[in-house]
Amino acid sequence: MHAPVNVVLTGFMGTGKSAVGAELAQLLGVAFVDTDQVIEARHGTIPSIFERDGEDGFRTIERATIAELTQQPGAVIATGGGAMVDATNAEALERWGQVYTLVASPAEIVRRVTADGVTDRPLLNTDDPAATVEAMLSERAGVYSRYVPVRTDRREPAAIAAEIANDLENRGLFVNPNAPKTGPSLAAKTGRRAGGCVFWGFAIIVGLFVLLFVLQIVFGLFFAAFGGF
Q: Which backbone phi and psi does 12 adopt, to 5 degrees?
A: -65, 160
Domain boundaries, the chain: 6-170, 186-229
Q: What pLDDT is stored for residue 113 in this prediction?
A: 83
Helix (H, G, I), strand (E, B) or coil at 10: strand
Q: Which backbone phi and psi does 94 adopt, to 5 degrees?
A: -75, -25
Q: Does 3.40.50.300 match the CATH number of domain 6-170? A: yes
Whole-structure pTM value: 0.74
Q: What is the DSSP string of 92-139?
A: HHHHTEEEEEEE--HHHHHHHHHHH-GGG-GGG-SS-HHHHHHHHHHH
Q: What is the DSSP string of 213-225?
A: HHHHHHHHHHHHH
Q: Report in angstroms the alpha-carbon separations of 83 from 13, 36, 72, 131, 134.
A: 11, 10, 18, 21, 18
Low-confidence ranges of the chain (pLDDT < 70): 1-3, 116-120, 177-215, 218-229
Distance CA 28, CA 224 (A): 63
Q: What pLDDT is stored for residue 111 in this prediction?
A: 87
Q: What pLDDT is stored for residue 189 in this prediction?
A: 42
Query: Could you give the dihedral angle defined by the CA atoms of residues 142, 146, 151 and 156, in that order, rounded to the nearest 10 degrees?
Result: -120
